[in-house]
Structure 1
């Protein structure tokens, strides 16, 4: 992509409404634009990252055996009355009345709708286990939306729902999603710590939230120091293996939020604890028959009896993840994207647009990198070098390839790694080989 034609409205000054790092940098990098309180338009640069996060989430759900569908954003109030949650959910639910005076709502979550779909088609235990998921926009009418996409009213979420014939099957489905979540966050470039959590309005008796550590995190976290260097996926089982030992091993390592940590009764010595800040990026629940019983989601069991299915739900805040990544990975100059979700793989900087030789070499490099499947942000704008360097640091592209007349006279270009700031001068072909290697 040539930046001379790419819609990327960067800002030099920090917007006054931005209170946290991710909000400031997303606005400054031209990734989002607020359209009303807690609601954002995703501009091309931000949308590129959002789609990459979404695709990693999708691939790991598929690998765990979940099947993708797509449910609507608008739901019938009647389904929520069946489950008993319509009046309990509170003012976060945006309630709507259509022209025929039918009560509707903009879905904050989808337990009721997926249960209705399930009960319409699944009649036998032989059709289980089943896990269905979608990636869809949600709306929760936060009383004080703030912190940009970290706590907005409209957000993109992956939610999955498992259905099993018994509690043992439901526990295995829960463990498969637990492992899938660890794999998802690791692929994105994050270390997520699972912590036992309250089930809240979703319900149930088993729940974990997944927390990533960041200095600007929203809640206090206490965890065993082993988490700092632990490779949670080392020796992880396959999805079809017995997951119980792995689940027990990982969940036995102490971790708690400030609401749950009691210094007077910690199961480990205080000297072994690390105190940090954390951001929730995922939440999983096993809630048994909370929805299947009131909504009559039953199947014929092995002996022909009607059995209410055991259910679980599993959420990842896809749009929230984007803000969380920035909170955990940035410096004074801007964003530092993990390679897997960066909007571009390489930033190609032409230090003197209009210089024949510099333009020629940049054009050749751009063509070769793109032909090799790399996504390139080619800064061919008629801007001073300082502005180009600043913008490339701001948007956080992992590699910067700098081409200018002075370097070309010496037969070299400069290659910079954004995360470390390390720079080296290399012949053109050597730089190209390193990027393609």
Structure 2
């Protein structure tokens, strides 16, 4: 490919819309063009990279026996209602674009495809003899992000590989899950990415177990906790740890203490000379449930701990056996709308009376009371008295009257002891999710009546797995992990081109002839080559080459008159002056050595 024919459009200035370096570089390098908020066009350079990633994904999925298909992007609402996900995905801050056709039928643009693939498979597969089956597709998905940002990291339209497997039992599901785990590790290795596999929450997809694959990067939106021996890793939403012991309280007897203008834990500790671990912090929230409506929740947690809302959401759904649509913090404005008296926020205790909810218009009139295990173990603690500017000290749960249901709803954090080894602690880093695999169990097959006949002639729901990779997100994550002040440094396996031939002066006939020769030879040897044949200054060409990040550069300059060229490696920024034939052979050897080729043989 010649640069003069490929619509290369680079920018020297950082675009105002781009917050992180990978987004900035993709825009500056002309890889993507913004069409509107959260929607981008993939330009020729980016499309080449996406095709290379896609090829790697296809090869690794195919070698595991998965079958490629293509499913519709437009889904009827009724199958999503059958799985009980339509309202959650379309109501409030739901991420599904939805519309009505000219007959008034409700439809949604697919953010994921569990409903469609389960319905189709249930219609085709009827016997255990036809199992297992693993189907995958690579296509555009949609999600109506409220605040799209970071370019392809959180866009409203994106390219994804998603796969769905069907099994006769849990053991068979786990076998394919491990196959996909292996395939994913190979995919990311071949793409030249450093990833961490972490335990993760299954979220709206559901299921009993899931694992995320994270590209480590300072700009990552997800916080990862990793044990110091690197044998355990989890997203903070899922992570578990041993919490530190509470500092023993000086309050041995019950006492009322005045706490004017002491609404935060920090203020309370400073003014009362106490430690956060001696306090029971109370949080009041509103769970919006599909069947049971608006349910107030009263949560008690130790003052030095943070609430994990993902764990809380899961516990609420499990406790109430209802689908949670949303979970929000209650404010005095919310209380006013419900015709309730204001609450003394900052002084609420774990024994806030249900009678407070009597006048509620739309809320259930009894609290669900939950306590984190850290709060349940405290004695002689400090807590709110349910009166403004007043707390109680020397309190225990017997004085409170009853202990709420005890669950784990705290966030694990860096410095906590590891559960698997007391001598190890958790450390933190940030990551960008590029893949996620799930053991779904029978959630979708049961709700969608997708079943098969087992070897005993009994009809059973399929056991299912789900496996996703963000193709376009992976491309940007690679840039986030591989860049310098000059621009992108693509891993050679997914670089749009492996080498760029840069002629310093196209008006110099000798340089032009040498550049054409190199371009032709590289193509003949199967090297993916870009030829910068523009009539531009050498400095502009070098800056563009650095910006777009092609791994190798052959510079044809004045030395070409003596049959020599410069060989430049983008990642090390080292240059060698070599004879043309030597440069060709050396570069071919280097590129072949650096390629992470597909190996169809089992590991």
Q: TM-score, normalised by structure 2?
A: 0.67
Which of 205, 221, 224 is the equivalent residue of 1:221?
A: 224
- Tell me what 1:420 maps to: 572
CA distance in 2 between counterparts of 1:94 and 1:101 reads: 16
- 1:11-160 maps to which residues of 2 (within 5 A)? 11-90=11-90, 91-160=94-163
Name the count of aligned residue pairs: 411
CA distance in 2 between counterparts of 1:301 and 1:428 reads: 67
Which secondary structure state, in structure 2, belongs to the residue aligned with residue 339 of structure 1?
coil
CA distance in 2 between counterparts of 1:203 and 1:119 reads: 19
Cα displacement (A) at 1:130: 0.5
* Consecutive aligned runs of 4 or more in structure 1 exceeding 6 Å deviation: 269-272
Superimposed CA distance per residue, residues 275-332 of structure 1 (whole angstroms, 9 cap, x where no aligned partner):
3221111111111110001111111100111011100100001110011100100000
1:345 aligns with 2:498: yes
- Tell me what 2:233 maps to: 255
Cα displacement (A) at 1:105: 0.6
- Tell me what 1:188 maps to: 191
- Tell me what 2:592 maps to: none
Structure 2 unaligned spans of 5+? 240-411, 590-603
CA distance in 2 between counterparts of 1:33 and 1:264 reads: 44
- Tell me what 2:383 maps to: none
Superimposed CA distance per residue, residues 331-364 of structure 1 (whole angstroms, 9 cap, x where no aligned partner):
0000000010000010100001021111111111
Which of 403, 412, 416 is the equivalent residue of 1:264?
A: 416
- Tell me what 1:434 maps to: 586
CA distance in 2 between counterparts of 1:351 and 1:193 reads: 42
Cα displacement (A) at 1:411: 3.2
Structure 1 unaligned spans of 5+? 228-252
Cα displacement (A) at 1:412: 1.5
- Tell me what 2:479 maps to: 326
- Tell me what 1:7 maps to: 7
Cα displacement (A) at 1:6: 1.2
- Tell me what 2:332 maps to: none
CA distance in 1 between counterparts of 2:163 and 2:170 reads: 18
Superimposed CA distance per residue, residues 194-214 of structure 1 (whole angstroms, 9 cap, x where no aligned partner):
111111010111000111111
Superimposed CA distance per residue, residues 3-33 of structure 1 (whole angstroms, 9 cap, x where no aligned partner):
1111111111111010011110000000111
- Tell me what 1:172 maps to: 175
1:363 aligns with 2:516: yes
Cα displacement (A) at 1:219: 2.4
Superimposed CA distance per residue, residues 46-88 of structure 1 (whole angstroms, 9 cap, x where no aligned partner):
1111111111111111111111000111111111111111112
Cα displacement (A) at 1:118: 0.1
Which secondary structure state, in structure 1, belongs to the residue aligned with residue 40 of structure 2?
strand
Cα displacement (A) at 1:156: 0.5
Cα displacement (A) at 1:271: 6.6
Task: Provide closer, same or farther for how the CA distance between residues 258 and 299 of structure 1 changes in structure 2, counting only shifts above 3 A.
Answer: closer
* Contact 2:216/2:432 (8 A) holds in 1: yes
CA distance in 1 between counterparts of 2:527 and 2:537 reads: 26
Cα displacement (A) at 1:376: 1.1
CA distance in 2 between counterparts of 1:275 and 1:89 reads: 31
Which secondary structure state, in structure 1, belongs to the residue aligned with residue 99 of structure 2?
strand
**Which of the two has higher C-alpha Rg?**
2
1:285 aligns with 2:288: no
- Over aligned residue pairs, what C-alpha RMSD do you find? 1.4
Task: Provide closer, same or farther for how the CA distance between residues 392 and 117 of structure 1 changes in structure 2, counting only shifts above 3 A.
Answer: same
Cα displacement (A) at 1:226: 5.3
* Contact 2:416/2:426 (8 A) holds in 1: no
CA distance in 1 between counterparts of 2:182 and 2:432 reads: 19
Which secondary structure state, in structure 1, belongs to the residue aligned with residue 576 of structure 2?
strand
Which secondary structure state, in structure 1, belongs to the residue aligned with residue 16 of structure 2?
coil
* Contact 2:195/2:214 (8 A) holds in 1: yes
Task: Provide closer, same or farther for how the CA distance between residues 225 and 344 of structure 1 changes in structure 2, counting only shifts above 3 A.
Answer: farther
